[in-house]
Chains A and B, each alone.
Chain A
Amino acid sequence: MPPPNLLTPAIKSKFHLLALLVLFAVLSSALFLSACAPQSRWLSVLFEQVPPPGQETLTEPVVRQPRRPPYKPPAPPLIVETKEEAPRTDWAALLEQLPKHAAGGTDWVRALNEKLITPKPGLDPKAEDEPVVDLDVELIPKDQPAFKAMFPHKVHTQILACANCHPAIFKMEKGANPITMEKIFAGEFCGPCHGKVAFDVATGCPRCHLGMPR
């Protein structure tokens, strides 16, 4: 005969109730005891901000870092900007288009007068040009008046400053410059430019000696 089951459901529920009551009583008494104790290591975790008895409360607010970092907009995609070079001017090709004189070289006087070129008077964009002097000087050889030459100040002062020639190359005094063709060919007087940068003396006779056939 099996032993009679003493733990009937009614008794079981009563046991449970009793166990809960005992647990509650133990926990609450533990809380009471620890709350009355001067300092509790375990409960200080729950009451972190509470100062120990006898001390004043903290006046300084506790600054805490935000739980998540503030929103930052994503960085724009990295675009490498390439500087485009200004289109290079083909000066050599432009030079080819300038008018030519009889000997084949560039006719700079015509190019300037026809405004095919507009050379700047200085590096500074506001640079002012020296005034153009419109003075023709006639140079008549004493023994050969037929070889009269004419020097036009105008075309020279359009591109040159007075100080380029005066007084180092040409003295500003009538008859003070004994110009001869030999000296010009040797690089004196007109020679520093004519034959080097300006039209060649050997092929440009009628440009100075106006009486000669063109």
Chain B
Amino acid sequence: MMRASLCLAFALLAALLPLHHVGAEVGDIVFARKTPGTEDIPPAIFPHSLHRMQFKCHVCHDAITVMKAGANPITHDAIQEGKFCGVCHNGKTAFQSTFEACARCHRQ
């Protein structure tokens, strides 16, 4: 009985842990996947709060990203070309979009 309850507690803890970072703060944007056949890839999450800590609003708005849901056609090609996230996420200002860094945006 004791063992079972301990296991349950650990399972609950493990299930709740990922929630700690995802969508915990107001303003985190989850980009729902639109491309058919890519449902296996977790959606990209833009943590607004973490960016607010480092840059003022007007650094991105509206020169880089428009303050309207769906108004920014963000693709990986655009990021590689240095648009949207790619303005900073190029390996100089911030981490680059590489195969090692997928999970930093595409989080479960």
Task: Choose the segment among A6-14, A41-49, A156-164 that binds chain B (4+ C-beta atoms closer than 8 Å).
Answer: A156-164
How many of chain A's residues touch chain B, expressed as a range?
Answer: 20 to 34
Q: Mark B67-105, 1 if CB is under 8 A from A, else 0.
A: 110000000000000000001100001000000000000
- Listed by A's residue number, 28 A-B pairs whose Cβ atoms lie within 8 Å are A92-B47, A92-B50, A94-B53, A95-B50, A95-B53, A105-B26, A106-B25, A106-B26, A108-B52, A117-B53, A119-B54, A119-B59, A120-B54, A121-B58, A121-B59, A123-B55, A130-B58, A158-B56, A159-B56, A160-B58, A161-B57, A164-B62, A192-B68, A196-B27, A197-B27, A197-B48, A197-B52, A200-B26
Asked if residues A106 and B49 are in contact (CB atoms below 8 Å), the reply is yes
Closest to A92 in B: B21
* Contact of A91 with B by CB under 8 A: yes
> Which B residues are closer than 8 A to A by beta carbons?
21, 25-27, 47-50, 52-59, 61-62, 67-68, 87-88, 93
- A residues near B27, Cβ cutoff 8 Å: 196-197
Closest to A127 in B: B59
* Contact of A122 with B by CB under 8 A: yes
Main secondary structure of the interface of A (DSSP, over half): loop
Asked if residues B53 and A91 are in contact (CB atoms below 8 Å), the reply is yes
> Considering the chains assembled together, what is the distance between the CA atoms of A159 and B57 in angstroms?
6
Residue from A92, A94, A120, A197 in contact with B59 in the complex, judged by beta carbons closer than 8 Å? A120
B69 to chain A, nearest CB (A): 9
- B residues near A158, Cβ cutoff 8 Å: 56
Closest to A169 in B: B67
* Contact of A138 with B by CB under 8 A: no
Closest to B27 in A: A197
- A residues near B93, Cβ cutoff 8 Å: 123
Report which residue of A98, A122, A123 has the largest number of chain B beta carbons within 10 angstroms of its beta carbon: A123
Asked if residues B50 and A91 are in contact (CB atoms below 8 Å), the reply is yes
- A residues near B54, Cβ cutoff 8 Å: 91, 117, 119-120
Residue from B48, B56, B62 in contact with A129 in the complex, judged by beta carbons closer than 8 Å? B56
